[in-house]
Chains A and B, each alone.
Chain A
Amino acid sequence: MTGKSLRVLDEGQGEYLSVDPDQFREWTGRKERALVAKLMSPAEAVSRFVADGDYVVWETNYLNRGPATLIREVIRQRKQRLWVGGKFTWVIVAMLVEAGCCDRADLGFFVGGPAVTRAVIEKKLKVYEYSNLIMTARLRAGAMGISFIPVRSLGGTDNFKYSGAKLLEDPYTGKPTVVVPALNPDVALIHVHQADQYGNARIFGTTITDVESALASRKVIVSAEEIINTEEFRHKPGLTKIPYYVVDAVVHQPFGAYPGECPGLYSSDSNHVVEILGAINGDRVKQYLDKWIYGMASDEQMLIERVGTPKLRELQRRATTVAAEGYRA
């Protein structure tokens, strides 16, 4: 306890995205501070702000308010060698792996199926093991501008061995404590209920880890169901969850979370979700990608021609007749 050096009792062997808060500050120092319009199409946003080799995070996609349109655009543009934060990510890691977009993943919860098992065994996909909350803590540390954070879970598991965690003698209590490296992703993809043209954003319902992801990431693409006037933010500033200066691109995308739910606005298209789950478990992800992504020039076309307006109206009706309370300004 009185020694001058910190004792490392154990450490994981997993590679982790290098951490340097000062380098991150260099980056944020170059970002635009003025209120400038950032509206653009999904194709332009992904083309400009997602590069091959980037580390990308997102949340609960195809489940709840996920950036589904943006992820489909990443796949459509055939981005490569992405390293992804696959926590609470549901079906997307399997889609990115089968699309050839991703070769590294830090994992919490996801549905992988035979494609991911195969990619891991054939060493086409490197995986590092965390959990949803540990990835969340790493993003929080990244958002705080610090390099690591102590956590009260992960110790004793095999995830620890395949992660970037360390077990230290806590310099304050003298007890063992696990610390994990901060995460400053290259890109955060976030879908929200409302944004203005500058990137101020409102989320109704739980924010899961979207706010931390936005603050921790170098480049932030926000897609929004609705673009509203900045005056509205000034009337109710307490509702703003993401401040404009962390945001690089704003995409106006109604049904941007489809086939997931956007609470208060539309329900999940359960049949579609079951289709992708079936495709993953039945090793038919490529056919799914052809049908819903490669075969469509844009999500605009997919929503109108493949899903259809009657279906979209039905999803809206189902969301607004039940459980819509709390999702309005």
Chain B
Amino acid sequence: MIGKGPWSEAPKAASFAEREFQVCIAARLVEDRKTYWVAGGGGPMYAVLLAKRLYTPDVIYVAEDGVIGAEPMLPFDPVMTLAAARPSYRALMWSTMNGIGDHCAAGYLDYGVLNTLQIDPYGNLNSTWLGTYGVEGRRFNGPGGADTIAAMCRRVVLMLDHQRRKFVPRVDFISSPGYLDGSPGARERVGLPAKTGPWAVVTNWALFDFDEGSRHLRLRAIAPFVTLDQVLAEMSFKPLMPPDGKVQTLEPPTEQELTIFRTEMDVSGQFTDTAAHWIVKEGERWSVVAKEQSKKISPL
């Protein structure tokens, strides 16, 4: 998945937010000369924009409202990251929602990148309801365009916070399809295009892929500022381990990645602000610092 890249030799940042780390990792997964369907704002769009800026200049992305190949005017206005003039600026085409859907169904859209609320071992996603559907709990936004992206893009990258309540053995509601029950042909049996499905999961702590045989979530690498035990403790099921048994360590953000992200994208800190911690390097050690109190809470 992630190997060495231009980021490996670049000067690394000494402090960053967890969400910034997550966006940088997702950006390093982006493949050049491919088409991406990015969901809404936040992490997915930032990851592709950052990659386009630094590593993969010929990547093209489309948005659900019908915008193809924009060169967006950054930064975006608050909450206006989709279906607005700035994100649609200098596009190659202003199409329609059905247009994008057609392009995806016909196979022109290679990758999808999505945010989600809850995920299970087979990459099924819930963004609809936490609790017993319609009876108790809380209603969320629903699949939006994610169901389509998850169903029809050739490879899907999923982004979510690394929390025990988000990695669950069974999602409360399947809003967007992963490998369903994980059995061979499960997606094809319900009419989804062949050779599609979740490909990677990027959290603020770790990177996963899916085992080709069992289609089960598999840990590949962890952040330099957490331990394997921490990563596993914040999951309600056990992921598979890498084929060679070696969990890699992800490289921290580079100074260049962060400069671009902070000055051109998340200029108000709206995106990273919701994650409560800064990661700070002290000597050879990484520390987790609570942003609000600006004090150290858990030296590693």
Contact = CB atoms under 8 A, between A and B. Distances in A.
Interface in B156-179: 173-177
A311 to B, nearest CB: 15
B85 A324 contact: yes
B213 interface: no
Contact of B175 (A157, A263, A319): A157
Contacts of A322: 73, 85-86
Contact of B86 (A209, A277, A323): A323
B80 interface: yes
A176 B135 contact: no
A264 B188 contact: no
Interface in B70-127: 73, 77-80, 82-86, 88-90, 94-98, 100-101, 105
Interface residues of A, number: 63
Which of A129, A153, A154, A261: most chain B Cβ within 10 A? A153
B101 A137 contact: yes
Contacts of A209: 96-98
A287 interface: no
A209 B99 CA distance: 10
Contacts of A162: 133
Nearest to B73: A323
Interface in B55-83: 64-67, 73, 77-80, 82-83
Contact of A156 (B128, B139, B152, B187): B187
B1 interface: no
Contacts of A155: 151, 177, 187, 190-192
A190 to B, nearest CB: 13
Given A108-B143, A325-B90, A153 B80 contact: no
Interface in B138-152: 138-148, 150-152
Contacts of A267: 77, 85
A112 B141 contact: yes
A176 B189 contact: yes
Nearest to B66: A206
B191 A211 contact: no
Nearest to B151: A153
A28 interface: no
Nearest to A262: B85
Given A121-B136, A212-B98, A263-B84, A109 B143 contact: yes
B176 A157 contact: yes
Contacts of A159: 128, 143, 147, 174-175
A157 B189 CA distance: 12
B134 interface: yes
A178 B191 contact: yes
Interface string A12-25: 00000000000000
A108 B96 contact: no
Contacts of B98: 133, 136-137, 140, 209, 212
Interface in A133-186: 133-134, 136-137, 140, 151-160, 162, 167, 175-178
B81 to A, nearest CB: 10
B143 A157 contact: yes
Given A157-B177, A323-B86, A152 B128 contact: no
B46 to A, nearest CB: 18
Contact of B84 (A109, A207, A261, A324): A261
Nearest to A139: B98
Contact of A152 (B73, B136, B193): B193
Given A205-B88, A270-B77, A277-B79, A176 B190 contact: yes
Contact of B101 (A136, A319, A327): A136
A64 B67 CA distance: 13
B186 interface: yes
B26 interface: no
B201 interface: no
B48 interface: no
Given A133-B147, A274-B79, 14 more contacts: A109-B143, A109-B144, A111-B141, A131-B147, A134-B148, A151-B105, A153-B177, A155-B151, A157-B176, A176-B189, A206-B95, A263-B88, A267-B85, A322-B85
9 contacts: A63-B83, A108-B142, A129-B128, A131-B144, A158-B175, A206-B65, A211-B96, A322-B85, A323-B89
